[in-house]
Structure 1
Amino acid sequence: MTDSKSKLLIIGVTGNLGFELANASLNASHPTLGLVRDSAFSDPNKLHKIQLLSDSGLKIVKGSLHDEESLIEALKQADVVICAVASKQVHDQKALISAMKRAGCIKRFIPSEFGSDPDRTRVSHLDHNFYSRKSEIRRLVESQGIPYTYVCCNFYTSYLLPSLVQPGLQAPPRDNVTIFGDGNVRGVFMKESDVAAFTISTVDDPRTLNKTMSLRPPGNTLSMNELVTVWESKIGKKLERNYISEEELLKRIQETPYPDNMQLVFIYSAFVKGDQTYYDIDSSNGVEGTQLYPHIKYKTDVFLPLIHTCAMSLL
């Protein structure tokens, strides 16, 4: 590793994760650019984020993934590209890959994944190509010879956890709780700001070049039974646990229209199939971020304060 910091171009800085990535990059003293569409400036929430980031030192570059010339102009100012577009825009990265190939100056690309490893999930018959689109982008990156790092953080703490993995609820239950499968399969939750800190740490690290960085810290890896036990300890009350079999969950997925059934698909993938934890991380093509960067103080007790906050709101 050299002492000089790579120049980063982040796409999607007005989104939740993109905003955290930009902050983490600036905090790590990387010269940082954000590609921002013209339409973002007319959205009050996005404009507020743009102003905050600009005040912190982010250089705003106007452009979009659909305008190759503006894209190449932005790319020529960067060494590393991080894309944090929404999952529905994953295929838009094809134009970005083409532009990176044409620009010829990008030393590393981190595509928009930031969830379960798309090459490891086993729900392709249910997910309406959610993961296969991400795998398709991986194969395109590799075929074009673009240096990469893939980041698989599994679930964000803002997703599923506030309801204790109860579809349709906004807060944890206080009497009855539904547990999918046997309740012993573990999923992984990471705070978005922590995901951003680990991601930024990879950009100049040769150990993560052309590898997948997974985030799977033991303290953030819990089963549904374990999550419920934590919640019970907070409210001082035992909940009635209603177990839903794999067959029943699959039936619910099939009977619920798309896209409303996707939350059930993600629950099935993580807490029944075990897609976030069933495999060992192969050192030949993968690393575990919390082991690689032990100096990063991530929120390992994030479940307790989050669930405690939910509990207090209901007292």
Structure 2
Amino acid sequence: MASRILVIGGTGMVGQQLVAASINAGHPTAVLVRPPACDDPVKAKLVDTLCNNGASLVYGDINDRESLVSAIKDADVVISAVGHTSPELEILKQMYGPPVTRVTVYGDGKHQAMFVNEKDMCTLAIKAIDDPRTLHKILYVRPAVNLCSLDQLVSLWEKKIGNDLEKCYVAEEELTGKIQASPFPLNFQLAMVHWTFLAETLEFEQITVSNDASDDDGVEATVLYPDMKYVTVEEYLDNLK
């Protein structure tokens, strides 16, 4: 029998993808919503779409312990997709909106990072729920096809739009200073940028994955689910043009 799944934050960008992936996988899927959300026309439309696609609603609030405990008691698995709200949107525009004239490059642009589309990440999260191989493990998602540096990413985008972008380089010291001076959650967002593009982490090209896809702490999704087709960086950029 498929696990009953409750998604908290199911009306957000990632939350909607989690709900869709859960329903598509055949899980009875519920979404925790606050009653005021239905008074907001935009949120009400999202809620209607989720329900029409097969999700059920559970009313509650993550800041109300009693309602939260009541909401989760009928679920086998609870997934939180609750994010942050922030008035400082410039970094989000930089991260999620495609540049047309200039682009910020952190560090020297050579550090490689792994890019995974949120839809693929949500599909894998749902796959892992009833997979005993993932129990008490970190699920690593490292599709080699999406290993890319900022320089490579910018170059690829320039080719697609037929235009050279002005590069604004931000040194690590400058970014670190912004992290220290910024309030939450902007400092957290900037810290994630630093960790992704500047931190001295293990280089991905040095990572090898054994045939059993597992170590003491984690499992590798690309080995556990070899038939999974990932949205590539190039495919994602094609959809932005």
| TM-score relative to the length of structure 1 | 0.63
Q: Distance in 1 between matches of 2:25 and 2:159?
A: 38
Match of 1:217 in 2: 143
Per-residue CA deviations over 1:193-230 (Å, capped at 9, x if unaligned) read 21111110011111111111122212222111111221
SS at match of 1:65: coil
Match of 2:33 in 1: 36
1:200 aligned to 2:200?
no
Per-residue CA deviations over 1:171-202 (Å, capped at 9, x if unaligned) read 3244x544222211112222222111111001
With a CA cutoff of 8 Å and minimum separation of 6, indicate the structure with the bigger relative contact order: 2
Partner residue of 1:294 out of 202, 214, 226? 226
1:235-254, aligned counterparts within 5 Å? Answer: 235-239=161-165, 241=167, 243-254=169-180
Q: Distance in 2 between matches of 1:276 and 1:162?
A: 28
Contact kept? 1:162, 1:307, Cα under 8 Å: no
Partner residue of 1:20 out of 14, 17, 20? 17
Gap runs ≥5 in structure 1: 89-158
Contact kept? 1:185, 1:274, Cα under 8 Å: no
Q: Distance in 2 between matches of 1:7 and 1:22?
A: 12
SS at match of 2:7: strand
Match of 2:160 in 1: 234
Match of 2:234 in 1: 304
Partner residue of 2:49 out of 48, 52, 56? 52
What one-letter code is carried by the residue in structure 1 that aligns with 2:53?
A: S
Instruction: Check 1:296–1:161 CA distance in 2 against 1; reply closer, same or farther (3 A cut).
Output: farther
What one-letter code is carried by the residue in structure 2 that aligns with 1:201?
A: K
What one-letter code is carried by the residue in structure 2 that aligns with 1:287?
A: V
- List, as ranges, runs of 4+ consecutive aligned residues in structure 1 with deviation greater than 6 Å: 159-162
Q: CA RMSD in A?
A: 3.1
1:171 aligned to 2:171?
no
Q: Distance in 1 between matches of 2:11 and 2:166?
A: 41
What one-letter code is carried by the residue in structure 2 that aligns with 1:32?
A: T
Per-residue CA deviations over 1:233-267 (Å, capped at 9, x if unaligned) read 22445556554432333345456666555544332
Match of 1:272 in 2: 198
Contact kept? 2:103, 2:166, Cα under 8 Å: yes
Instruction: Check 1:212–1:277 CA distance in 2 against 1; reply closer, same or farther (3 A cut).
Output: farther
More off after superposition, 27-36 vs 182-191: 182-191
Contact kept? 1:187, 1:274, Cα under 8 Å: no
1:187 aligned to 2:113?
yes
Partner residue of 2:78 out of 76, 81, 94? 81
What one-letter code is carried by the residue in structure 2 that aligns with 1:292?
A: L
SS at match of 2:139: strand
Identity %, equivalent residues: 40
Q: Distance in 2 between matches of 1:227 and 1:10?
A: 33
